[in-house]
């Protein structure tokens, strides 16, 4: 079995080789990349274990989304959903910050089923989600502004595409 770093490098190279300039989500080039990976990169027992773990984690993530959906629907309608007793078994990811004896801020996450959630749990969840939403907004807006700045520079330089523009403003980096 090959090393995971070698696998990542192999996949990255195949993605660069096979990726079209424009494509839609679910494009078949991803299947071609997957089909090109030699079996020697995988240990069957390890692979089966990882697939099982991924399936369990996927279902647990869906359960957390169900709990979040109940909160969104309550906000929208002011009522609990029809089958709320089933959703009450789903967990929320409650993240809180505490300060240790040395004054260091520490993050802790606990999964709490809705049926056991206290008002403090719900407030801690809400506070953390609000801060993450703000961080996500700021990161997305930085990317939006970066895209607008590059687009304006492409137009100003009459470069037409990113690659021509990037080669013009930094030809040595593009050669690497």
65-115 pLDDT per residue, tens: 999 999 999 999 999 988 888 889 999 999 988 888 999 999 889 999 999
Cα–Cα nearest to 96, from 75, 127, 71: 127
Please, are residues 100 and 71 in contact by the beta-carbon 8 Å criterion? no
| Helices within the chain (DSSP H only) | 4-18, 29-36, 44-77, 84-87, 119-156, 162-169, 171-174
Pairwise CA distance, residues 35 & 28, whole Å? 11
Q: How confident is the model at residue 140 (pLDDT cuts 50, 70, 90)?
A: very high
Pairwise CA distance, residues 73 & 82, whole Å? 11
Bridge partners, residue 111, by sequence: 93
Its pTM stands at: 0.68
How much is the pLDDT for 10?
Answer: 94
Q: Where are the domains of the chain?
A: 1-42, 57-117, 119-176
């Amino acid at each position: 079995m090959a090393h995971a770093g070698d696998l990542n490098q192999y996949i990255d190279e195949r993605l660069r080789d096979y990726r079209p300039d424009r494509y839609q989500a679910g494009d078949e080039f991803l299947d071609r990349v997957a089909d090109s990976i030699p079996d020697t990169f995988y240990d069957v027992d390890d692979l089966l274990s990882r697939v099982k773990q991924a399936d369990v984690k996927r279902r647990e993530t869906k359960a957390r989304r169900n709990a979040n959906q109940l909160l969104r629907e309550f906000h929208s309608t002011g009522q609990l959903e029809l089958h709320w007793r089933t959703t009450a078994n789903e967990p929320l990811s409650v993240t809180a910050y505490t300060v240790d004896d040395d004054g260091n801020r520490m993050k802790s996450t606990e999964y709490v089923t809705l049926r056991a959630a206290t008002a403090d749990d719900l407030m801690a969840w809400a506070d953390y989600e609000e801060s993450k939403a703000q961080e996500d907004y700021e990161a997305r807006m930085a990317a939006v502004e970066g895209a607008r700045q590059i687009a304006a520079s492409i137009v100003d330089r009459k470069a037409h595409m990113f690659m021509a523009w990037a080669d013009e403003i930094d030809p040595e980096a593009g050669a690497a």
